[in-house]
């Protein structure tokens, strides 16, 4: 089974979704399961994981409903306030919806470089681990140090790094990101989504070679059992079609065995997210 481990649904609201600026007009509309279903089928992908794009309980409820309505949505990564005093109670209630596999916060939008190691957030991770939920890491370079500290402090928590930590592909900077990937991959409880690549490159003038050093380093660092494909649809449409998002990754799998490809395209996601 082939799984797209990272995509989004939304009913566009210009106030709530103000991160979608006029520079991103292609995203200023609704994107719902029926819009994705044809793309998945055309690319031989059997299911997907819907990931939060808004930080609200309503967003989590919305994604759960999409999964109930469309069986190809195999899992949900929702949002919860990890710093809430009643985090244990909230997570206990969410266990009633087994389609929820984990949670994410848009840490990349947090100016506080130490957001992930605030006392309240670290407390929240204890309960996330208790309830066996995954946590997607969406970060920028200013969060690298705190991310490492957070992961080290939570050895039993299952983490998934989104978008290979969003390296500066357009400017071809490499060293700071590469050192972080090397360090983070040393923690066996961290996996990495190979996703969101084209949007970190030159949106209108990228080439397959632009991604080579980054993908080589991710596969070398995380190995072939802790990497999984994600399209980041519809955000990928800022720079690449769904098919191009697949092709960017596929071009770097030539040394994967048949079994390793099956793991990358689906089995790893099934295992990591307990689909």
- Taken in order of first residue, the domains within the chain and their CATH numbers are 3-272 (3.20.20.140)
CA distance 139 to 181: 12
Q: What is the pLDDT of residues 54-88, one digit of tens each?
A: 999 999 999 999 999 999 999 999 999 999 999 99
Q: How confident is the model at residue 175 (pLDDT cuts 50, 70, 90)?
A: very high
**Per-residue confidence (pLDDT) for residue 121, from 0 to 100:** 98
Compute the average pLDDT of residues 227-254: 96
CA distance 54 to 106: 8
Q: Which letter does DSSP use for residue 68 in this model?
A: H
CA distance 254 to 273: 26
> CB-based contacts of 204: which residues, under 8 Å, 6+ apart?
239
Q: How confident is the model at residue 26 (pLDDT cuts 50, 70, 90)?
A: very high
R_g (Cα) of the chain, nearest Å:
17
Q: How confident is the model at residue 118 (pLDDT cuts 50, 70, 90)?
A: very high
Q: What is the pLDDT of residues 178-209, one digit of tens each?
A: 999 999 999 999 999 999 999 999 999 999 99
CA distance 7 to 169: 21
Nearest to 57 by CA among 30, 39, 41, 79: 79
Question: Which pTM does this prediction carry?
Answer: 0.96
Complete edge-to-edge strand list for the sheet that includes strand 134-137: 3-7, 47-51, 73-78, 100-105, 134-137, 159-161, 190-194, 227-229
Q: What is the pLDDT of residues 79-93, one digit of tens each?
A: 999 999 999 999 999
Write the burial class of residue 113 (CB in 10 Å: 0-12 exposed, 13-18 middle, 19+ buried): middle
């Amino acid at each position: 089974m082939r799984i797209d481990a990272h995509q989004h649904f939304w009913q566009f609201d210009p106030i709530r979704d103000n991160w979608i600026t006029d520079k991103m007009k292609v995203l200023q509309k609704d994107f719902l399961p029926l819009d994705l279903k044809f793309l998945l089928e055309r690319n031989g992908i059997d299911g997907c994981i819907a990931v939060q794009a808004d930080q609200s309980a309503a967003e989590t409820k919305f994604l759960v409903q999409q999964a109930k309505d469309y069986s190809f949505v195999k899992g949900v990564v929702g949002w919860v306030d990890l710093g809430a005093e009643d985090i244990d109670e909230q997570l206990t209630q969410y266990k009633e919806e087994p389609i929820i596999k984990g949670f994410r916060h848009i840490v990349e939008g947090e100016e506080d470089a130490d957001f992930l190691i605030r006392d309240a957030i670290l407390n929240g991770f204890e309960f996330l681990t208790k309830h066996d939920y995954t946590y997607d890491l969406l970060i920028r370079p200013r969060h690298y140090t705190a991310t490492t500290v957070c992961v080290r402090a939570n050895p039993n928590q299952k983490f998934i790094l989104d978008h290979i930590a969003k390296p500066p592909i357009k400017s071809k900077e490499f060293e700071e990101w590469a050192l972080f990937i090397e360090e983070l991959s040393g923690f066996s409880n961290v996996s990495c989504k190979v996703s969101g690549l084209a949007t970190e490159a030159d949106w209108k003038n990228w080439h397959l070679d632009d991604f080579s050093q980054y993908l080589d380093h991710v596969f070398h660092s995380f190995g072939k059992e802790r990497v999984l494909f994600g399209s980041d649809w519809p955000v990928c449409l800022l720079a690449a079609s769904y098919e191009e998002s697949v092709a960017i990754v596929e071009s770097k799998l030539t040394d994967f065995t048949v079994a390793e490809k099956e793991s990358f395209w689906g089995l790893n996601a099934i295992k990591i997210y307990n689909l």
